[in-house]
Amino acid sequence: MKENTLDRRGFLKRSLANGGLAAGGTLLNSTALASNNLEANTVVDLSDASWKTIRSQFPLTPDWVHMASFLLASNPKPVTAAINKHRLELDANPAVYLQSAEHPAELATLAAAGKYLNTKPDQIAITESTTASIALLYAGLSIRADQEVLTTEHDHYATFNSLAFSTARNGASIKRIALYEKPSELMVEQVVDRINKAITPKTRIIAITWVHSGTGVKLPIAEISQTVKEANRGRREEDRALLCVDGVHGFGIDSIDINTLGCDFFMAGTHKWMFGPRGTAILWGAEDAWQFLSPTIPTFHQNAFMKWMGYIEDEDLPKSTHLTPGGTHAFEHRWAMGEAFNFHMSIGKTRVSERIHSLNRQAKEGLAAIPGVHVYTPQSDELSAGIIAFEINGIPAYNTVAALKENNIIATQAPYAVSHARLAPGIINTPEDVDYCLKAITAIGSRS
């Protein structure tokens, strides 16, 4: 009886390691089913391609000027192809393909994300949105009732509410500060000084947003991280201030090495500037920061199941894996996420960044030269990224967006109490697109 049990456990262990079990206990042939070479995604070299060629990778309607990709992006051809392949396989044989493809596909996604960020794949958890990453982080971080969360007046609804939910449970307090009054006049020293002065011995979590979607301000995260590092000198680990960054509107714009940012945790959806599948995101943590974060939703990683069933003593999983929620997902989207990272790298991270900043400089300088237009976003690349907030002669943002739409320009209105109109030039745009927007805004202003 003991021998049979061991054999059965060994069989299950080998089965799970090779992709799972089909109905009736038949071992799946993962090699045959994963015929799309999931662990080595093909990358098309676009490093020397023209921007017109790169634009042709997106199925966007050509008769509109799309200035809202930061809200919800169109998927380029490689991402769409990967989604469609996985969807067809799942529709053809759902259980078999799920059990065969899930593990290698997620490893491929993590490998691509790790390469893009210049980090170890096991420092990344896969989630379904920036909001989900934020919620998982603040629900799971260790913080005592006598400690404090420091955040700003400029952060997003998702951050405010996730922090409120968390502190309602753990009894910690929240302190909000303003980092600026006039965003267009922002200085690096001003931001760093205000955060430095707000940190106290009670500060456990510092929750900030890299690029503010209401004003287009980009915070100097690396400089802030140095201030936090200084504040942590001499502190016990349980009292260490943890710098947590909602990075979604800088992610896919600035050519970053995640290690140089210096934050402890970084959250970002990939369906905006990264052009990834809808419903995909990451949660990254520094190696020495994961110890402070506990999971909220059980992972479905195969080794976690094997431990739960008693087939292995130690699941031997990185902490980040426990922050990748289990359950049934839009698997075809999750498994195609790596293609978005590959797409960016095929163009070149630095090249993407330079293109976006160039178009944004053109737009900001042009807007500032139009009588009656106020630009809220800083002019410098150092303090701005891809979102430009502006106002035309005091016209409400809603009316400005509607007037631009009449000119076949897709702009957006910031979802804040004080709301501005926004343009967001990206790699799908051209200098001619920017000029067309400037002419339309000039005309709207002249009518007001």
| pLDDT of 318 | 87
* CATH class entry, domain 349-447: alpha beta
Give one DSSP letter per residue of 39-91, joined into a string.
TS------TT--HHHHHTTS---TTSEE--TTTSPPPPHHHHHHHHHHHHHHH
* CATH class entry, domain 121-347: alpha beta
Is residue 193 predicted with pLDDT exceeding 80? yes
> Residues 103-113: what's their mean pLDDT?
94
Is residue 4 predicted with pLDDT exceeding 80? no
Least confidently predicted of 22-36, 275-289, 304-318, 387-401:
22-36
Q: Where in the chain is the domain with CATH 3.90.1150.10?
A: 349-447
Least confidently predicted of 21-35, 101-115, 228-242, 345-359:
21-35
Going by pLDDT thresholds of 50, 70 and 90, the confidence category of residue 33 is very low
153-187 in b/e form (b: 16+ CB < 10 A) is: ebbbebbeebbeebbeebebeeeeeebbeebbebe
| pLDDT of 14 | 53
> Residues 279-306: what's their mean pLDDT?
93
Task: Count the Cβ atoms, other than its own, within 10 Å of residue 2.
Answer: 6
Q: Where in the chain is the domain with CATH 3.40.640.10?
A: 121-347
Phi/psi of residue 293, nearest 5 degrees: -115, 125
Going by pLDDT thresholds of 50, 70 and 90, the confidence category of residue 38 is very low
Going by pLDDT thresholds of 50, 70 and 90, the confidence category of residue 35 is very low
pLDDT in tens, 144-166: 999 999 999 999 999 999 999 99
Query: What's the whole-model pTM score?
Result: 0.91
Is residue 8 predicted with pLDDT exceeding 90? no
Answer whether 364's CB lies under 8 Å from 379's CB: yes
Phi/psi of residue 212, nearest 5 degrees: -80, 120
Average pLDDT of the chain? Answer: 90
| pLDDT of 43 | 54
Is residue 220 predicted with pLDDT exceeding 90? yes
Between 82 and 32, the more confident residue is 82
Is residue 40 predicted with pLDDT exceeding 90? no
| pLDDT of 417 | 85
38-49 in b/e form (b: 16+ CB < 10 A) is: beebeeeebeeb
Q: What percent of the chain has pLDDT over 70?
A: 90
pLDDT in tens, 308-328: 888 887 667 888 999 999 999
Phi/psi of residue 390, nearest 5 degrees: -150, 170
pLDDT in tens, 375-387: 999 999 999 999 9
- Cα separation, 194 vs 187, whole angstroms: 11
Going by pLDDT thresholds of 50, 70 and 90, the confidence category of residue 7 is low
